[in-house]
Amino acid sequence: MKLASVDFSLVAKVDGLLGEHDALEKGQLTLVLDDFIQRNEHHRSVVVPQYEAYLKQRSDMLLLPKMISV
């Protein structure tokens, strides 16, 4: 099997964006694949479980008064 090199960029730019996020520069967002993958993994493994725990705790707290009054 012969391998061939492939020329591609690990950077993508998105133009025409509005807002004042720190990642935007003159309406342009630059995405670097390695950074995006790392940030996505952190979001999946840390942020989502914490948010789900918050939702459960919030739901439990909202149900507590109903359980007490029964």
pLDDT digits 0-9 by tens, 5-57: 888 899 999 999 999 999 999 999 999 999 999 999 999 999 999 999 999 99
pTM of the complete model = 0.65
State residue 35's pLDDT score.
95
Angle at 41 (CA atoms; ends 60, 22), nearest 5 degrees = 95
Angle at 17 (CA atoms; ends 39, 35), nearest 5 degrees = 15
Domain ranges of the chain: 11-69
